[in-house]
A and B are shown apart, each in its own frame.
Chain A
Amino acid sequence: MSADPYNQKVRAYFADTAHCGDVEDGAVGYFEDQGMRVRLSAEVEDGRITRLAFRAWACPHVIAAAESVCREFEGRPVAELEQFASAQIMQDLAVPVEKTGRILVLEDSVRSLGHAIRDRLSTKQD
């Protein structure tokens, strides 16, 4: 017997990937591992993320998680990106434990985006 592997949130985010795309000239975080690849790009103003977009070649849980990250972090301070931890998303999207590694790839992408933004900001200040 097969139960539905996706909860309502996964289905909703997967169906409506409003943040799919690229922020032109934005900072980029990219990671490829576990048979998947995720790219995040962002626009920042006054230390806050004004636009966040993603692209992903991944399973529905990761695509939904990437959409969720974009919705959650738009408007928030950049510094929060680097503190991102996947545990809450794992719980909200009921990600099966065997997919933990894939969600960690997303986590790496988010953190790498945080680093990329910080590098850009420090270059501008220099």
Chain B
Amino acid sequence: MPNYPDLIYLDFAATTPLDPDVALCMQRVQSQAYFNPSSNHIGGRRSASVVQNAAEKLAALLNTDPASFVWTSGATEANNLAIVGAAKQREHRGRHLVTMRTEHKAVVDVFRHLEKQGFEVTWLQPEPDGRLPVDRFEAALRDDTQLASIMHINNETGTVQDIAKLGAICKDRGVLFHVDAAQSAGKVLVDLADLPVDLLSLTAHKFYGPKGIGALYVKTGTPLLAMMFGGGQQRRLRPGTLAVDLIAGLGEAARIAAVRHEDDFKRLSAQKSQLLAGIRDIDGLHVNGALDDAYPGILNVGVEDIEGESLLLALEPLCVATGSACNSQSQEPSYVLRALGRSDWQAQSAIRFSFGRTTSTDDVERAITIYRNAVEKLRNLAPERVA
């Protein structure tokens, strides 16, 4: 994988580098199977077989049927298709939907869009550690609830939701259950033969695959309305010529993830512990989100009375995300951390460290030193408050 000695990349929750084996696989497909998989000739059949092979690899990772995927441009499109497609399909039965305040923008904004169209959305508040109590979720479901959407792993804090229990409740109540698994697919065990999930979104670039390709798992028999029109591909749910090389890359990334994810999980756990041990004695430091049973690839910390924008600059050459990120273009404090009860000032000093396959123990050690020095520098710079 590419190595840039001038920076220390700890932003794997934003994206991951392309695995070299994935790149090789895609190059082969680009030169040998560049055909349109819908074409009715030997070349088309070759490309269609590449797509089928990728679906089988992804199905093996998630323990499900290869025919249950709709290829999309990424998790954002998959979330849109799942939420709007399911809500619209069932709106004659009811217009009540359930989700959480701490969902990714790619879910939040879709529900906001549906609210403007007359749907009623219940926005569930998590506990201060980011977890959603099962009884709170169950209490929010009504007779007219059609869809609930809860993310598996939170992208800012790494907090894991109990999707098995939430999904079981939905199944009992006849509510469709969608899971945004952008941060979990390919990283932790997601067994769709066991989990009561109807719809699940994922994207390749979060697990060392290419950008621009994702998938929506649609459990057999789950009704969805298409949002795009223009061809018969993918059961008319998502028409358009398939990006064969990207799909092949997603499939190969899934194959590698299936082999590696247990080892990756152990290594990430050790690195998260190493980082936390190296900074937790800093005066005023707090962890955002749950620590127990959380995803080990993400650690989100804040520190009292530090200006966030200056902290981010002082942390260079560390590549990390701030409390205003997820959509880092904005300087607004993170709505996720605000929902966990953090003040604007606490949220703006938050830093998300996220680790991955290429993170070394030395990277973490350097990150500890840089973070400590940055906090010390900014505290030295700050004047005493004058009453």
The distance in angstroms between the C-alpha atoms of A32 and B384, with both chains bound, is 11
Are the CB atoms of B386 and A32 closer together than 8 Å? yes
**Max chain A CB contacts within 10 Å: which of B383, B384, B385?**
B383
Are the CB atoms of A59 and B307 closer together than 8 Å? yes
Q: When the two chains form the complex, which single residue of A6, A14, A57, A59 contacts B383, counting CB atoms closer than 8 Å?
A: A57
The distance in angstroms between the C-alpha atoms of A56 and B383, with both chains bound, is 6
Kindly report which residue of chain B lies nearest to residue A66, judged by CB atoms: B381
User: Closest CB-CB distance, B256 to chain A, in whole Å?
Assistant: 29
**Max chain B CB contacts within 10 Å: which of A2, A55, A57, A63?**
A57
A39-B381 contact, Cβ under 8 Å, with A6-B313, A57-B307, A60-B309: no
Taking CB atoms and an 8 Å cut-off, the chain A residues in 35-73 that contact chain B are: 36-39, 55-60, 63
- Where the two chains meet, the residues of A that have a C-beta atom closer than 8 Å to any C-beta of B are 2, 6, 11, 14, 17, 20, 30, 32, 36-39, 55-60, 63
The distance in angstroms between the C-alpha atoms of A108 and B273, with both chains bound, is 46
Residues of B within 8 A of A20 (CB): 380-381
> Is B382's beta carbon under 8 Å from chain A?
yes
Residues of A within 8 A of B313 (CB): 6, 11, 14, 60
Taking CB atoms and an 8 Å cut-off, the chain B residues in 200-232 that contact chain A are: none
> Is B328's beta carbon under 8 Å from chain A?
yes
Number of interface residues of B (CB under 8 A): 17
Are the CB atoms of A63 and B381 closer together than 8 Å? yes
Q: Name 17 interchain pairs, CB-CB below 8 A, sorted by A.
A: A2-B329, A11-B313, A14-B310, A14-B314, A17-B381, A30-B386, A32-B386, A36-B307, A37-B386, A39-B386, A57-B305, A57-B378, A57-B383, A58-B307, A58-B310, A59-B309, A59-B310
Are the CB atoms of B309 and A56 closer together than 8 Å? no
Kindly report which residue of chain A lies nearest to residue B348, judged by CB atoms: A35
The distance in angstroms between the C-alpha atoms of A72 and B377, with both chains bound, is 23
The distance in angstroms between the C-alpha atoms of A58 and B380, with both chains bound, is 12
Are the CB atoms of B386 and A2 closer together than 8 Å? no
The distance in angstroms between the C-alpha atoms of A11 and B383, with both chains bound, is 21
Nearest 10 Cβ contacts at the A-B interface: A55-B383, A39-B383, A57-B382, A59-B309, A60-B313, A60-B310, A20-B381, A30-B386, A37-B383, A57-B307
Are the CB atoms of A30 and B383 closer together than 8 Å? yes
Kindly report which residue of chain B lies nearest to residue A21, judged by CB atoms: B380
The distance in angstroms between the C-alpha atoms of A32 and B386, with both chains bound, is 8
Residues of A within 8 A of B329 (CB): 2
User: Closest CB-CB distance, B316 to chain A, in whole Å?
Assistant: 9
Are the CB atoms of B309 and A55 closer together than 8 Å? no
User: Closest CB-CB distance, B151 to chain A, in whole Å?
Assistant: 25
The distance in angstroms between the C-alpha atoms of A60 and B314, with both chains bound, is 9
Q: When the two chains form the complex, which single residue of B314, B328, B377, B381 contacts A57, counting CB atoms closer than 8 Å?
A: B381
Are the CB atoms of B385 and A32 closer together than 8 Å? yes
Kindly report which residue of chain A lies nearest to residue B345, judged by CB atoms: A35
User: Closest CB-CB distance, B343 to chain A, in whole Å?
Assistant: 12
